[in-house]
Structure 1
């Protein structure tokens, strides 16, 4: 379940930079900023450094590319030779070795999956593929209930187990044809991995994004905290709904209004409910989460999107999550934020004339 790019970067106090792709790092801007950006995991990445010491830049672009290639080699379901693809295609149920990075992602997935009552389910791959949002092509007709039931029979976190011992980490399935899809967590994981790469080089002022996941540390090139704008649910590339100060945390947004297709006169969202086996149809269109890591935020936002507004609000309050929701109404959009999210807000625009800023 790929996320759309719903994050804008606010440079200093004003001005927004939409994500764009290129394969070479941008030149330093008056000695103040260094930017590398490009494509990865079917989306875009961007690394911005504020006033980096000249010595840390040597070979940095190559290191960034290698890290992203490593993540893609482990997590991609579009390539047949990746670690995850080999696990999915393995016809048995014996434990299979995985890296520590993948083990961390699966651990997060299982924990958040349990807390969302299975709404965030990384085994939802058969349903994602059935509806045409995985490696398989878009269906020509709506899947029928028999097809949905057959796919659902191969879905469930209870069929997936992570084993850790003194020899390493192992992933095990009790259904030979279980299909694990970690794309919903891949962007957050890759963002954290790039941040860790920068930290190892002694870089302490940066903003990193992969798709809809972002993490930051320190101050921007303007000497103020990094600020990120949450995209309003429109087709406009730069249209901020709210601006937040990340305070060194990770943020991730998941939404239903950009990644979809029309089939037989009906709009089909890429976000699949594992319980019903069908794309979501409720009014929640965007869920943003701020957490200590981008991976954590990336896992929660998908689960909340599946649950819908009311259940997402209740779970956010129960778990003490920093959450910002945008829901469609009869006259526009309505917003809701948890008490934990309020401390990050710099500004927010009215969502709709009738129900703006429901809190």
Structure 2
């Protein structure tokens, strides 16, 4: 029987990076699988990007009022899940937030360095509303009521992680760790029998510069589960001492004002973990933790406290650390 070894491959997608680590026989090459992995990611990006005018999502966003459109199966699944989360959270999470994301300079439009006017925010909010969208599961149809602009950036990367994992499963690879833009999922174990473990970065470290244990907040086992982390420390701007992050509350039209530095969420798959990180950031530490406890969600907040960064863990996240 061939020796199993760890192999890795990486690339670019969705304006960020992806990587796969896998346990394979020594005589097989993960690099030879890179093209197939990239094709899975290109499929998702080609359907769900708001930066590509030819994507299915861009076509829907630009469509005239009162029209129905058929989405590719993958895009339809993600839209349906995003709308389900919106429904369950009374709009604290809302994938139709696209106009506000663009207005604040965090979307495909030009970046900005000062807040938009209140009139502009109010005008953008009139185009927000997950409940205005209708879906037809039988045909994968979606109805454009007019002015709706979907933004799937808070769920598409997680979905891509899951889809790459399924691709590896079909290829007969039983142990892998997939990452797309900081969203991760692991399956199986490393060649020495140990589980996949990843460190949750403490906010403030430079991208890719975590070199010491004290730059990590917690280390979690990802064998058989996924993790998504949302933070305010990558995409933001500051005006007159006030920081405006890319996490915008769809109910107010403004970036969240509270003290959340980052949120990490564990779940069985990355598509479920990904939007929960955004939701927790919007809800904030008090409402968010209540929501997590009531639903048994594994959530860790890192907060800006008076004495520096503070951690707050849900019971399910504490249990996951002990497993």
Structure 1 length normalisation: TM-score? 0.84
Moved more, 309-318 or 334-343: 334-343
Moved more, 38-47 or 260-269: 260-269
Q: Conserved in 2, the CA contact under 8 Å of 1:35 and 1:48?
A: yes
What does residue range 1-16 of structure 1 map to in structure 2 within 5 Å?
none
Aligned to 1:224: 194
Query: Among 248, 263, 275, which residue is 2:224 paired with?
Result: 248
The CA deviation at 1:240 is 0.7
Q: Take 2:81 and 2:234, find their aligned partners in 1: how far apart are those partners?
A: 26
Aligned to 1:113: 86
Q: Which runs of 5+ in 1 are unaligned?
A: 1-29, 348-359
Aligned to 2:171: 201
Distance 1:329-1:77 versus aligned 2 partners, 3 A rule:
same
Q: Take 1:279 and 1:58, find their aligned partners in 2: how far apart are those partners?
A: 41
The CA deviation at 1:51 is 3.0
Q: Conserved in 2, the CA contact under 8 Å of 1:195 and 1:208?
A: yes
What does residue range 267-282 of structure 1 map to in structure 2 within 5 Å?
267-282=243-258
Aligned to 1:97: 70
Pair 1:289-2:265 in alignment: yes
Q: Take 1:291 and 1:343, find their aligned partners in 2: how far apart are those partners?
A: 13
Q: Conserved in 2, the CA contact under 8 Å of 1:243 and 1:346?
A: no
Aligned-residue CA RMSD in angstroms? 1.8
Q: Take 1:254 and 1:267, find their aligned partners in 2: how far apart are those partners?
A: 16
Equivalent position SS for 1:139: coil
Q: Take 1:341 and 1:141, find their aligned partners in 2: how far apart are those partners?
A: 37
Equivalent position SS for 1:143: coil
The CA deviation at 1:273 is 0.6
How many residues align? The count is 315
Q: Which runs of 5+ in 2 are unaligned?
A: none
Moved more, 293-302 or 31-40: 31-40
Aligned to 1:14: none
Larger RCO: 1 or 2 (CA < 8 Å, sep 6+): 1
The CA deviation at 1:235 is 2.5
What does residue range 1-359 of structure 1 map to in structure 2 within 5 Å?
32-52=5-25, 54-55=27-28, 57=30, 59-165=32-138, 168-174=139-145, 176-236=146-206, 237-238=209-210, 239-263=215-239, 265-345=241-321
Q: Take 1:40 and 1:302, find their aligned partners in 2: how far apart are those partners?
A: 20
Structure 2 length normalisation: TM-score? 0.93
Equivalent position SS for 1:177: coil
